[in-house]
């Protein structure tokens, strides 16, 4: 659930301050903003806020201005509560108006998160976790009131929070593009450890047993013609392509930036190369960013 004072869908802020209650998702938010191209700094001393903000201003020096920045400033920084309002006024005098994003969650949710991570609460003075959460919530009330957008993460997961931030602060709903790496390989040499999806094509007719094709790679015209004439090869490719085409937008929606698909046959020379190339061509045609590697074709 969010509460906003400013509309973010038409004007994407280039200067963000991420703050809020400990355990409410600020670290996850920082990761999302990094993916969106923001230069992120965690736990910046509030007294350095003005100095850092100068890097966002055009200058005549050789120092390159930062295009977009997101700074995490919270109760861990001891001068935060007393100096924050004054530092915002200093920025305003320089015509800099950071978008303040405040994260919070229900007491019981914050308790559960700290219990699961076993991290000490920064406001804990020995009176227990719940007391620390309530103390911080009360202390942060003025900061909360100054926020441009308040996000309650009580019902959010890491993935849904990222999706929410990408939709609000990204240049497009999809956020950062998904890069698909397709790797053909031979099972006899081992499965690629980085593979997210694995397709086994050892059930297909094998050109290895055709004397004139044995020493040719799966990218050779003669091997391609042989495999294209086999009905089960076409059917296998069609089903693989349908599945991957369905899955990729879902992976992207959940915030995945990289996906590796392994396609394996026995030796990694014929069938896996053919299917990997066909799959890569089809995905590129559908607008996906694809790279191809044939790991074992020369073995």
289-294 and 179-186 beta bridge pairing: parallel
Nearest to 24, CA basis, from 2, 47, 52: 2
Residues 6+ apart with CB under 8 A from 42: 27, 30, 72
**Rounded Cα distance, 273 and 276, in Å:** 5
Domains of the chain in start order, with CATH, are 2-169 (3.40.50.300), 179-294 (no CATH)
Nearest to 265, CA basis, from 231, 236, 229: 236
State which residues of the chain have pLDDT below 70: 1-10, 58-64, 78-79, 171-176
**Rounded Cα distance, 131 and 221, in Å:** 72
**Rounded Cα distance, 115 and 109, in Å:** 10
HSE of 126, CA atoms in CB hemisphere, 13 A: 0
Name the CA dihedral angle for 253, 160, 81, 126, rounded to a multiple of 10 degrees: -140
191-218: buried (b, 16+ CB within 10 Å) or exposed (e) per residue? Answer: ebeebebebebeebbbbbeeeebeebbb
Structure confidence by residue, pLDDT tens digits, 78-101: 667 777 888 888 888 888 889 999
Structure confidence by residue, pLDDT tens digits, 169-226: 876 544 557 889 999 999 999 998 888 999 999 999 999 999 999 999 999 999 999 9
Position of tokens 């050779």? 220
Is the pTM here over 0.85, yes or no? no
SS3 183: strand
Nearest to 263, CA basis, from 231, 216, 228, 295: 295
């Amino acid at each position: 659930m969010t509460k906003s004072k400013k509309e973010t869908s038409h004007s994407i802020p280039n200067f963000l301050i991420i703050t809020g209650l400990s355990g409410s998702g600020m670290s996850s938010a920082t990761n999302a903003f990094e993916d969106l191209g923001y230069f992120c700094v965690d736990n910046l001393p509030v007294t350095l806020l003005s100095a850092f903000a100068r890097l966002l201003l055009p200058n005549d020096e050789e120092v390159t201005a930062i295009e977009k920045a997101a700074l995490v400033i919270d109760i861990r920084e001891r001068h935060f509560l007393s100096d924050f309002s004054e530092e915002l006024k200093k920025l305003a005098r320089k015509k800099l108006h950071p978008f303040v994003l405040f994260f919070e969650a229900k007491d019981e949710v914050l308790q559960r998160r700290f219990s699961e991570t076993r991290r000490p609460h920064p406001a804990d003075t020995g009176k227990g976790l719940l007391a620390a959460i309530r103390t911080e919530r009360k202390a942060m009330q003025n900061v909360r009131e100054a926020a441009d957008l308040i996000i309650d993460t009580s019902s959010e997961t890491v993935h849904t929070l990222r999706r929410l931030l990408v939709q609000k602060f990204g240049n497009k709903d999809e956020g950062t593009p998904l890069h698909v790496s397709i790797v053909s390989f031979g099972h006899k040499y081992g499965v690629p450890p980085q593979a997210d999806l694995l397709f086994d094509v050892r059930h297909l007719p094998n050109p290895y047993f055709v004397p004139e094709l044995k020493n040719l790679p799966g990218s050779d015209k003669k091997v391609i013609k042989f495999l294209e004439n086999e009905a089960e090869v076409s059917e296998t490719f069609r089903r693989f392509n349908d599945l991957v085409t369905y899955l990729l937008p879902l992976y992207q929606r959940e915030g995945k930036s990289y996906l590796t698909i392994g396609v394996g046959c026995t030796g990694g020379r014929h069938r896996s190369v053919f299917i990997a190339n066909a799959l890569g061509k089809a995905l590129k045609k559908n607008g996906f960013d694809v790279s191809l590697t044939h790991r074992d074709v020369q073995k």
